[in-house]
Structure 1
Amino acid sequence: MSIDQKLADLGIALPEAAAPVASYVPAVEANGLLHISGQISFAEDGSLITGRLGENVSLEEGQAAARRCGIMLLAQMKRALGSLDRVEQVVKLGVFVNSAADFTDQPKVANGASELMQEVFGEAGRHARSAVGVPVLPLGVAVEVDAIVKIRA
């Protein structure tokens, strides 16, 4: 089954891949790896998912925001590779969570993106990961996720 068919079966429609908001490129392919710049949390309607976990964003809302970052990662992969079927392995996700000082559930927030990769790519979606709390993220978003993906030629 193609990854596009898997997305359809999961009810996931990929948005247009977001353009960079500063001086960088969305993805760089080097030595069989695709490095994807951090993708911020956009809602389905294109609005930003903003706020701070442990302050005005719930754990469940944070997980949903991380999932939305993951969906944008998929959109960036597809734009860079032409087909998601070129993904051989999701190697690593870096998850940054806009967190109050006493919020310590960053790994649970990150599961929103991690579980999506496993739903879409199966065993090839299992990856190493960092989940880090930060005091602020660009544009005030709740979550940002970057990725390293091994690709087929």
Structure 2
Amino acid sequence: MLDRKTAADIYLGILVEWERTYKDLPQIGNFDIRSKEFLAFKRTNSLEVLSYENATLSDEAISSRTELHSQPKQIVLFQKGSNSRARGLFKHIRNSIAHSHVERVKIKNKWFICFSAKNDKGKQVLHAQLMQSKLTPFISALKSTVKSV
């Protein structure tokens, strides 16, 4: 179960921001996963980010990664989305929060926040495993992928 601070951070930092600010932005040209802040976070925190072109590929990749929830590493696997990897990632994490598919998991003495999401056909479109101590910087890095508001 999430503690109150973590729940508030993800609710206010991701879900509310998406609904208030980012959801209605045009899909093309407003999101870029290559933002300096996101790339710096990824590099300094050994974050592995893998995107897949469709739900079938993301579902297969997530299902085949038997080490998920057993290795203390930061990883994000997700379906790209219609126009942008950054927008797809943001939207899938938002959906994970909105549908209560977020959990706190202890993996080899480290606490992780895990997000998961499935599409309406039951295919896994997101598995994100982030160290709890890195959640606030991750949220900031995720927001940095939005180019204009």
- The TM-score with structure 2 as length reference comes to 0.29
The higher-RCO structure (CA 8 Å, 6+ apart) is 1
- The TM-score with structure 1 as length reference comes to 0.29
